[in-house]
Amino acid sequence: MGSLDILQKRLGYRFAEMGLLTQALTHRSAGSAHNERLEFLGDAALNFVVAARLFGRFPKVSEGDLSRMRARLVREETLAEIAGEIALADYLILGPGEVRSGGARRDSIRADALEAVIGAAFLDGGFSAAEGIVLKLLEPRITDQLGDAELRDPKTRLQEFLQGRGRPLPIYTLIEEKGQAHERRFVARCSVPGIEPTEAEDGSRRKAEQQAATLMLTQLQNTPRG
Protein backbone atom coordinates (compact mmCIF):
# COMPACT_ATOMS: atom_id res chain seq x y z
CA MET A 1 0.00 0.00 0.00
CA GLY A 2 1.37 3.39 -1.02
CA SER A 3 1.91 6.33 1.27
CA LEU A 4 -1.36 7.97 2.26
CA ASP A 5 0.48 11.30 2.43
CA ILE A 6 0.99 11.15 -1.33
CA LEU A 7 -2.62 10.21 -1.95
CA GLN A 8 -3.87 13.08 0.20
CA LYS A 9 -1.73 15.53 -1.78
CA ARG A 10 -3.31 14.24 -4.98
CA LEU A 11 -6.76 14.66 -3.46
CA GLY A 12 -5.97 18.15 -2.21
CA TYR A 13 -7.26 17.30 1.24
CA ARG A 14 -5.65 16.03 4.45
CA PHE A 15 -7.78 13.89 6.72
CA ALA A 16 -7.98 14.58 10.44
CA GLU A 17 -9.35 11.07 11.03
CA MET A 18 -7.16 8.72 9.01
CA GLY A 19 -9.38 5.79 9.88
CA LEU A 20 -12.05 7.21 7.59
CA LEU A 21 -9.66 7.29 4.65
CA THR A 22 -8.50 3.76 5.38
CA GLN A 23 -12.08 2.54 5.49
CA ALA A 24 -12.85 4.29 2.21
CA LEU A 25 -10.04 2.32 0.58
CA THR A 26 -11.17 -1.03 2.01
CA HIS A 27 -13.13 -3.32 -0.28
CA ARG A 28 -15.77 -5.55 1.26
CA SER A 29 -13.65 -8.59 0.41
CA ALA A 30 -11.12 -7.41 3.01
CA GLY A 31 -13.39 -7.31 6.05
CA SER A 32 -16.50 -5.95 7.70
CA ALA A 33 -15.21 -2.37 8.03
CA HIS A 34 -15.47 -1.77 4.27
CA ASN A 35 -16.34 1.22 2.13
CA GLU A 36 -19.86 0.53 0.82
CA ARG A 37 -21.70 2.93 3.14
CA LEU A 38 -19.13 5.64 2.49
CA GLU A 39 -19.60 5.03 -1.23
CA PHE A 40 -23.34 5.71 -0.83
CA LEU A 41 -22.61 9.02 0.86
CA GLY A 42 -19.91 10.00 -1.60
CA ASP A 43 -22.12 9.26 -4.59
CA ALA A 44 -24.72 11.72 -3.29
CA ALA A 45 -22.14 14.44 -2.62
CA LEU A 46 -20.49 13.88 -5.99
CA ASN A 47 -23.76 14.20 -7.89
CA PHE A 48 -24.75 17.36 -6.06
CA VAL A 49 -21.41 19.12 -6.49
CA VAL A 50 -21.25 18.26 -10.19
CA ALA A 51 -24.87 19.32 -10.72
CA ALA A 52 -24.28 22.66 -9.01
CA ARG A 53 -21.10 23.27 -10.99
CA LEU A 54 -22.76 22.48 -14.31
CA PHE A 55 -25.75 24.65 -13.41
CA GLY A 56 -23.46 27.64 -12.90
CA ARG A 57 -21.09 26.87 -15.78
CA PHE A 58 -23.78 26.40 -18.47
CA PRO A 59 -26.60 28.89 -17.72
CA LYS A 60 -28.37 28.40 -21.07
CA VAL A 61 -28.37 24.60 -21.11
CA SER A 62 -31.65 22.74 -20.54
CA GLU A 63 -32.35 20.44 -17.60
CA GLY A 64 -32.23 17.36 -19.82
CA ASP A 65 -28.85 18.25 -21.29
CA LEU A 66 -27.47 19.15 -17.87
CA SER A 67 -28.55 15.70 -16.67
CA ARG A 68 -26.75 14.03 -19.56
CA MET A 69 -23.61 16.07 -18.93
CA ARG A 70 -23.66 15.11 -15.27
CA ALA A 71 -24.17 11.44 -16.16
CA ARG A 72 -21.11 11.61 -18.42
CA LEU A 73 -19.01 13.00 -15.59
CA VAL A 74 -20.13 10.70 -12.77
CA ARG A 75 -20.38 7.43 -14.70
CA GLU A 76 -18.20 4.50 -13.67
CA GLU A 77 -15.91 4.79 -16.67
CA THR A 78 -15.03 8.44 -15.94
CA LEU A 79 -14.54 7.85 -12.22
CA ALA A 80 -12.27 4.89 -12.94
CA GLU A 81 -10.19 7.09 -15.27
CA ILE A 82 -9.83 9.70 -12.53
CA ALA A 83 -8.91 6.99 -10.02
CA GLY A 84 -6.22 5.91 -12.45
CA GLU A 85 -4.87 9.45 -12.70
CA ILE A 86 -4.29 9.60 -8.94
CA ALA A 87 -3.14 5.94 -8.80
CA LEU A 88 -5.90 5.05 -6.34
CA ALA A 89 -5.40 1.35 -7.05
CA ASP A 90 -2.04 1.52 -5.25
CA TYR A 91 -3.87 2.25 -1.98
CA LEU A 92 -6.78 -0.17 -2.16
CA ILE A 93 -7.17 -2.78 0.57
CA LEU A 94 -8.52 -5.96 -0.98
CA GLY A 95 -9.17 -9.48 0.21
CA PRO A 96 -6.90 -12.27 -1.02
CA GLY A 97 -9.37 -13.40 -3.66
CA GLU A 98 -9.68 -9.96 -5.19
CA VAL A 99 -5.92 -9.50 -5.11
CA ARG A 100 -5.43 -12.75 -7.04
CA SER A 101 -8.11 -11.87 -9.60
CA GLY A 102 -6.70 -8.38 -10.20
CA GLY A 103 -9.53 -6.53 -8.50
CA ALA A 104 -7.52 -3.32 -8.28
CA ARG A 105 -7.73 -3.07 -12.07
CA ARG A 106 -11.52 -3.35 -12.19
CA ASP A 107 -13.29 -0.11 -13.06
CA SER A 108 -16.14 -0.79 -10.64
CA ILE A 109 -13.85 -1.24 -7.63
CA ARG A 110 -11.79 1.85 -8.42
CA ALA A 111 -14.84 4.02 -9.11
CA ASP A 112 -16.59 2.85 -5.93
CA ALA A 113 -13.49 3.56 -3.87
CA LEU A 114 -13.23 7.07 -5.26
CA GLU A 115 -16.83 7.77 -4.27
CA ALA A 116 -16.11 6.32 -0.83
CA VAL A 117 -13.14 8.68 -0.41
CA ILE A 118 -15.44 11.61 -1.20
CA GLY A 119 -17.92 10.31 1.39
CA ALA A 120 -15.15 9.92 3.95
CA ALA A 121 -14.02 13.50 3.33
CA PHE A 122 -17.59 14.69 3.91
CA LEU A 123 -17.64 13.00 7.32
CA ASP A 124 -14.14 14.20 8.15
CA GLY A 125 -14.32 17.83 7.09
CA GLY A 126 -17.89 18.59 6.10
CA PHE A 127 -19.37 19.47 2.74
CA SER A 128 -16.55 21.84 1.79
CA ALA A 129 -14.02 19.02 2.09
CA ALA A 130 -16.00 16.74 -0.22
CA GLU A 131 -16.66 19.60 -2.63
CA GLY A 132 -12.97 20.47 -2.77
CA ILE A 133 -12.00 16.95 -3.77
CA VAL A 134 -14.73 16.69 -6.39
CA LEU A 135 -13.83 20.00 -8.02
CA LYS A 136 -10.08 19.32 -7.93
CA LEU A 137 -10.54 15.99 -9.69
CA LEU A 138 -13.40 16.78 -12.08
CA GLU A 139 -12.98 20.48 -12.85
CA PRO A 140 -10.61 19.81 -15.78
CA ARG A 141 -13.42 17.84 -17.45
CA ILE A 142 -16.05 20.58 -17.07
CA THR A 143 -15.27 22.41 -20.31
CA ASP A 144 -17.10 23.84 -23.30
CA GLN A 145 -16.13 20.67 -25.14
CA LEU A 146 -18.15 18.66 -22.64
CA GLY A 147 -21.16 20.84 -23.41
CA ASP A 148 -20.60 20.52 -27.15
CA ALA A 149 -20.40 16.73 -26.89
CA GLU A 150 -23.63 16.47 -24.95
CA LEU A 151 -25.56 19.00 -27.03
CA ARG A 152 -24.87 17.39 -30.40
CA ASP A 153 -27.73 15.70 -32.17
CA PRO A 154 -28.65 12.52 -30.22
CA LYS A 155 -28.33 10.40 -33.39
CA THR A 156 -24.78 11.67 -33.86
CA ARG A 157 -23.89 10.97 -30.23
CA LEU A 158 -25.33 7.47 -30.44
CA GLN A 159 -23.40 6.76 -33.63
CA GLU A 160 -20.15 7.98 -32.07
CA PHE A 161 -20.78 5.92 -28.93
CA LEU A 162 -21.28 2.74 -30.98
CA GLN A 163 -18.36 3.42 -33.34
CA GLY A 164 -16.08 3.96 -30.36
CA ARG A 165 -16.89 0.46 -29.16
CA GLY A 166 -16.76 -1.26 -32.55
CA ARG A 167 -20.48 -2.00 -32.56
CA PRO A 168 -22.92 -1.93 -35.50
CA LEU A 169 -24.62 1.37 -36.27
CA PRO A 170 -28.28 1.90 -35.31
CA ILE A 171 -31.20 1.35 -37.67
CA TYR A 172 -34.16 3.74 -37.56
CA THR A 173 -37.60 2.52 -38.60
CA LEU A 174 -40.84 4.44 -38.90
CA ILE A 175 -43.28 1.95 -37.42
CA GLU A 176 -46.46 4.00 -37.32
CA GLU A 177 -48.07 7.25 -38.50
CA LYS A 178 -51.11 8.56 -36.65
CA GLY A 179 -53.65 11.32 -36.99
CA GLN A 180 -54.94 13.56 -39.75
CA ALA A 181 -52.67 15.25 -42.26
CA HIS A 182 -52.54 18.50 -40.28
CA GLU A 183 -51.69 16.78 -36.99
CA ARG A 184 -49.59 13.77 -37.87
CA ARG A 185 -47.80 11.80 -35.18
CA PHE A 186 -44.81 9.60 -35.95
CA VAL A 187 -43.58 6.59 -33.98
CA ALA A 188 -39.92 5.78 -34.64
CA ARG A 189 -37.89 2.80 -33.51
CA CYS A 190 -34.14 2.71 -32.93
CA SER A 191 -32.56 -0.74 -33.16
CA VAL A 192 -29.06 -1.90 -32.24
CA PRO A 193 -28.17 -5.61 -32.50
CA GLY A 194 -28.25 -7.33 -29.12
CA ILE A 195 -30.07 -4.48 -27.37
CA GLU A 196 -33.78 -4.00 -26.70
CA PRO A 197 -35.12 -1.53 -29.31
CA THR A 198 -36.34 1.87 -28.17
CA GLU A 199 -39.36 3.78 -29.49
CA ALA A 200 -40.49 7.39 -29.33
CA GLU A 201 -43.40 9.43 -30.68
CA ASP A 202 -43.48 13.04 -31.88
CA GLY A 203 -45.16 15.34 -34.37
CA SER A 204 -41.90 15.32 -36.34
CA ARG A 205 -40.36 12.13 -37.67
CA ARG A 206 -36.87 13.58 -37.16
CA LYS A 207 -37.58 14.44 -33.54
CA ALA A 208 -39.11 11.02 -32.92
CA GLU A 209 -35.92 9.40 -34.20
CA GLN A 210 -33.80 11.73 -32.05
CA GLN A 211 -35.80 10.83 -28.95
CA ALA A 212 -35.51 7.11 -29.71
CA ALA A 213 -31.74 7.60 -30.13
CA THR A 214 -31.54 9.37 -26.75
CA LEU A 215 -33.39 6.48 -25.10
CA MET A 216 -31.04 3.98 -26.75
CA LEU A 217 -27.94 5.91 -25.68
CA THR A 218 -29.17 6.05 -22.09
CA GLN A 219 -29.87 2.32 -22.17
CA LEU A 220 -26.41 1.53 -23.52
CA GLN A 221 -24.66 3.78 -21.00
CA ASN A 222 -26.50 2.02 -18.17
CA THR A 223 -25.64 -1.46 -19.46
CA PRO A 224 -22.55 -2.96 -17.74
CA ARG A 225 -19.74 -3.60 -20.17
CA GLY A 226 -18.71 -7.21 -20.44
Give the residue numbers annotated as catalytic, written as ranges: 43, 115
d(CA 165, CA 101): 25
User: Where is 117: in which H helix or E strand?
Assistant: helix 107-125
Is 17 labeled as ligand-binding? Answer: no
Burial, 134: exposed, middle or buried (Cβ in 10 Å; 0-12, 13-18, 19+)?
buried
- Say how many C-beta atoms besides its own lie within 10 A of residue 64's C-beta: 10
Residues 212, 195: contact at Cβ < 8 Å? no
Q: Hey, what's the torsion of the CAs at 59, 65, 70, 71, to 10 degrees?
A: 180
Is 39 labeled as ligand-binding? Answer: yes
Is 112 labeled as ligand-binding? Answer: yes
Give the closest residue to 139 by CA, choosing from 66, 58, 52, 50.
50
Q: Which residues are annotated as a binding site?
A: 39, 112, 115
Residues annotated in the binding site for Mg(2+), as ranges?
39, 112, 115
